[in-house]
A and B are shown apart, each in its own frame.
Chain A
Amino acid sequence: MKRYLHWGKGISLGLAAVLSLTACSGGSQGASGKPEEGKGGDGSANLKMMWWGPDSRHKATLAALDLYTKQNPKIKFTPEYLAWDGYWSKLTTLAASKSMTDVLQMDGAYIQDYASRGTLEDLSDVDLKGIVDPKIIENSKINGKLYGIPLGHNGQGMAFNKTELEAAGVKLPAKNWTWDDFIAFAKEGRSKLPKGKYPIGDGSNVWDNYQYYQTAKGKGPIMVDGKKFNLDKDLWYEYQNLFAQFRKDGTVPPPDVTKAFVDNDPKGDSMASGTVMTKGVTVASVAVMEQLMPGKVGLTTMPVGPAGGGWAQSTLFLSVSSTSKYKKEAKEFIRWFITDKEAGKTLGTSRGIPINNEIYKELEPTLQPTDLISRKLLDTVIEKALPFYPAPTGWSEWVQTYQTEMEAVWFGKKSLDDAYKTIETMGKQIEAKLGGGK
């Protein structure tokens, strides 16, 4: 009967569609060079590699990978590159399905999470003598092991709007200025800057801004060894009361203006929009400020205390997955990545200031203003730099709560004392949970 013919046609159409899809994707899978299971007995390998970055970095990296394959024909690559946004969700998913790529780019804010849970391979046996400063290697170690090979220098300092400060007759921040200098600068700025412009921004809702204060004054980081909770009550109140006063007398923008800022957005950035005269920047991010406000950017350190200020450390790494089948090849490749002169030329400054000083020297003549300003910042901050203290594993919710509590104080929904109580209680709870031996 006709209807069954209809049906038959429909079903076979559907089946054909599904089959052809499978064939298509199977075919293209072959074309993209999926790695074969198990090593070829001749030492050949197909390394899967994953990174994030802007377009320029992708171009440079792909060229570098081709270069390596030319030098080592037995090693081929299956690259995967994404934007920063999707990278971490995807990496987490890959980790959950135990299919992380052999080589992966890692960030200082995340490496502890991944390393502490055993997903990264120990790279302590990679020979970096003469390539990377031993101090940097030590700083990059977690629990005595090296889980990522540093790729570039990074550091934290402050940028300021040279042009507008000079126009208003405000004394420019000097290198290694102290916290007292900082407060004096803020007061002078408030009195001399026109309405709607502020000398400093309000970062009192972010935990690590206070940590800079605490460490500069010599009281150490807030989380010690990842487990102990070390928030100095007096110092914290001192810091928060300072900014509460700043909010009251208009030295910093009001809360809803601060919350509306969008980092590095041409219209919404606090400094690029001309609203705030200073901003914390890193060696990695200062180039963007130069791009948004060419020629207007001056550099200095974070305010320093007796112990120092800011930090100078590597935050970009290449790591190897602990489930990789090609660990030896991966390690060799990573070492080559930061050593080979050709590679260095090809990669340029796509990952910041190269960690290998020799490669940097070769690149120096060809650097752009945006690169040079990064170098300048690094040289400025390195003298008094303290170690980099990211939030350790298990503290991410505390970080988030800290921000919510402080913003509640900003908008008048909570008192400072209540906020402190919540922050301290949660900190102690996590300390108990982690210190209790996991």
Chain B
Amino acid sequence: MSNVSALQDDAKSRPKTAAGRLSRLWSKNRSETNAAGYIFISPWLIGFLLLTVWPIAQSFYLSFTEYSLLNDPVWVGPQNYANIFLNDQLFRTSLGVTFAFVLVAVPLKLFFSLMVAMLLNKNLKAMHLYRTAIYFPSLIGGSIAVSVLWRNMFSLDGYVNHVLGWFGIQGVGWISNPNTSLGTLILLSTWQFGSTMVIFLAGLKQIPSELYDSSSVDGAGKTRQFFHITLPMLSPVMFFNLVLGVIGAFQMFTSAFIITKGGPVNSTYMYALFLFEKAFKHYQMGYASALAWILLLIIAVLTGINFLVSRYWVFYESEGGKAK
């Protein structure tokens, strides 16, 4: 009796159809990969839960308070958000400045990084020297020296005006003029394209050379190869640089902070600088936190759009064609 029922139980548990068997196999793997998945992302997950969640939650809470940092936070509800949207001219100004920066700096950087990366991908002698030389500006980062350097380059009697003089063009005080100062910061960001370029380079190195070889055999020229091999194979990396370029550009702070301090006439008053000054200079951390969360929302929406649109142009080799 028990044997039969045991056999019957066995029969029940063993699915009859192929689909059934497959799905059972799948579900067994499912729980295994569930565990494996979590094990693999556990370093990040643990760090997130231990070290990151609380500060982030705190900052969200603080956005509903008035917090001078020197006193304890005082709950004020959505007042900060209301003031930001209804009363704050500076909010709109800095948002405008930041959008302008993103719209120009990101494409510029992507373009130059890609072009130079392709140049550096060739097999020429002394390539490592060139690469290091070209990457150098990105190493200077946010040091004080950069502000000295940049101000000297763009001052009325600086290097840039000197060079312009060769072409007979009269230069202006680029940094101290509200019409051009944002341009100097955009230039600085573009000059430091090294990191983006290095990532493109790594991506280029991962494209199998046989693709190029076999297409040359088929008679394809350089341009055709660029558009039909390089760009598609590079698209995941391009996507990465685009998404992160946008995220980074919106949070650009250092150059505005050390070179122009947001001036003149707020022409370089980047959003992150505005936020920082609200918190540390005007002792309004609550307001600044609200500003931060609004920025997060804006960036998240734009990134989401980026992801949605990516399915039309990003090609993942491993997923055999169009990405999800």
| A interface, CB within 8 angstroms of B | 88-89, 92-93, 95-96, 113-114, 117-119, 255-260, 262, 265, 267-268, 396-397, 400, 403-404, 407-408, 411, 413
B178: chain A residues at CB < 8 Å are 407, 411, 413
**A361-B175 Cα distance, complex, nearest whole Å:** 47
**A255-B172 Cα distance, complex, nearest whole Å:** 12
A95: chain B residues at CB < 8 Å are 69-70
Contact check, A267 vs B69: say whether CB atoms are below 8 A apart.
no
Contact check, B263 vs A260: say whether CB atoms are below 8 A apart.
no
A260: chain B residues at CB < 8 Å are 151, 155-156, 173, 175-176
Contact check, A117 vs B68: say whether CB atoms are below 8 A apart.
yes
A408: chain B residues at CB < 8 Å are 265
- Shortest distance between the CB of A25 and any CB in chain B (Å): 16
A259: chain B residues at CB < 8 Å are 173, 175-177, 263-264
> When A and B form their complex, which 5 residue pairs have the shortest distance between CB atoms, in order from nearest?
A259-B176, A260-B176, A117-B70, A256-B173, A96-B69
- Shortest distance between the CB of B152 and any CB in chain A (Å): 7
B283: chain A residues at CB < 8 Å are 92, 113, 117, 396
Quick check: is B266 within 8 A (CB to CB) of the other chain?
Answer: yes
| B interface, CB within 8 angstroms of A | 68-71, 148, 151-152, 155-156, 172-173, 175-178, 263-266, 277, 280-283, 285
Contact check, B265 vs A396: say whether CB atoms are below 8 A apart.
no
**A118-B281 Cα distance, complex, nearest whole Å:** 18
Contact check, B68 vs A88: say whether CB atoms are below 8 A apart.
no
- Shortest distance between the CB of A120 and any CB in chain B (Å): 10
- Shortest distance between the CB of B172 and any CB in chain A (Å): 7
Contact with A88, one of B71, B177, B280 (Cβ below 8 angstroms): B280
**A411-B282 Cα distance, complex, nearest whole Å:** 26
**A397-B70 Cα distance, complex, nearest whole Å:** 17
**A260-B175 Cα distance, complex, nearest whole Å:** 7
Contact with A257, one of B152, B173, B263, B265 (Cβ below 8 angstroms): B173
B177: chain A residues at CB < 8 Å are 256, 259, 411
B263: chain A residues at CB < 8 Å are 259, 403-404, 407
**Across the A-B interface, how many residue pairs have beta carbons closer than 8 Å?**
74
**A113-B284 Cα distance, complex, nearest whole Å:** 12
Q: Could you pull out 18 A-B pairs where Cβ atoms are within 8 angstroms?
A: A88-B280, A92-B70, A113-B70, A113-B283, A117-B70, A256-B173, A259-B175, A259-B176, A260-B155, A265-B148, A396-B281, A396-B283, A397-B282, A400-B282, A407-B264, A408-B265, A411-B265, A413-B265
Pick the most buried of A88, A96, A118: most chain B CB atoms within 10 A of its CB.
Answer: A96
**A408-B90 Cα distance, complex, nearest whole Å:** 14
A93: chain B residues at CB < 8 Å are 69
CB closest residue in chain A, given B87: A429
- Shortest distance between the CB of A341 and any CB in chain B (Å): 37
- Shortest distance between the CB of A433 and any CB in chain B (Å): 12
- Shortest distance between the CB of A300 and any CB in chain B (Å): 28
Contact check, B155 vs A268: say whether CB atoms are below 8 A apart.
yes
**Given A95-B70, A255-B264, A267-B152, list of 13 further CB < 8 A pairs?**
A114-B70, A117-B70, A117-B71, A255-B176, A256-B176, A256-B177, A262-B151, A267-B155, A268-B151, A400-B281, A404-B266, A407-B178, A408-B265
**A95-B283 Cα distance, complex, nearest whole Å:** 12
CB closest residue in chain A, given B277: A400
Pick the most buried of A260, A400, A408: most chain B CB atoms within 10 A of its CB.
Answer: A260
**A403-B265 Cα distance, complex, nearest whole Å:** 8
- Shortest distance between the CB of A106 and any CB in chain B (Å): 13
State whether A96 and B172 are in contact (beta carbons under 8 Å apart), knowing that A257-B156, A411-B178, A413-B265 are contacts in the complex: no
A403: chain B residues at CB < 8 Å are 263
Contact check, B71 vs A118: say whether CB atoms are below 8 A apart.
yes
- Shortest distance between the CB of B66 and any CB in chain A (Å): 11
State whether A256 and B172 are in contact (beta carbons under 8 Å apart), knowing that A96-B70, A407-B265, A408-B265 are contacts in the complex: yes
Contact check, B280 vs A89: say whether CB atoms are below 8 A apart.
yes
B68: chain A residues at CB < 8 Å are 117
**A107-B227 Cα distance, complex, nearest whole Å:** 61
Contact check, B70 vs A119: say whether CB atoms are below 8 A apart.
yes
**A227-B282 Cα distance, complex, nearest whole Å:** 16
- Shortest distance between the CB of A418 and any CB in chain B (Å): 13
A262: chain B residues at CB < 8 Å are 151
- Shortest distance between the CB of B158 and any CB in chain A (Å): 10
B155: chain A residues at CB < 8 Å are 260, 267-268
**A413-B178 Cα distance, complex, nearest whole Å:** 10
